[in-house]
Amino acid sequence: MVKLCPIKLKKKKISDTCKKIDNPSRFKKGQPKIEGSGTPSQQIEVTDITNNITTSYDSIRSAARTLNIHFKIISKYIIRNQQKPYKGQYTFKKL
């Protein structure tokens, strides 16, 4: 356990004023990622109703990046089961 303490202490116990860090190794940079961590990608189909073009994407984030919108917009559209096109142009469908 690592303790980070101020330089000067006045009439207090060291244990009361110091912050304790349980696992200092969690702050190290460059640790390898564990495979399988996180959530799997959700395939999504985006339909542009003005041009009648349908495009499939491997993930919600890649679709959002291409359309230049935030990924949470697409996520909430799907979760809320919305039928009205986003901004009157795009509809999203989970595959």
pLDDT digits over 29-76, tens only? 666 656 666 678 889 999 999 999 999 999 999 999 999 999 999 999
For residue 58, the enclosing domain spans: 44-94
Q: Which pTM does this prediction carry?
A: 0.58
User: How far apart are alpha carbons 41 and 64 in whole angstroms?
Assistant: 13
2 within domain boundaries? no
- Average confidence (pLDDT) over 7-29: 55
Query: Based on the structure, what is the number of domains in the chain?
Result: 1
Residue 5 lies in a domain: no
Instruction: Decide: 44 and 60 in contact? Cβ < 8 Å.
Output: yes
Asked if residue 54 belongs to a domain, the reply is yes
> Does residue 27 belong to any structural domain of this protein?
no
Is residue 76 assigned to a domain? yes
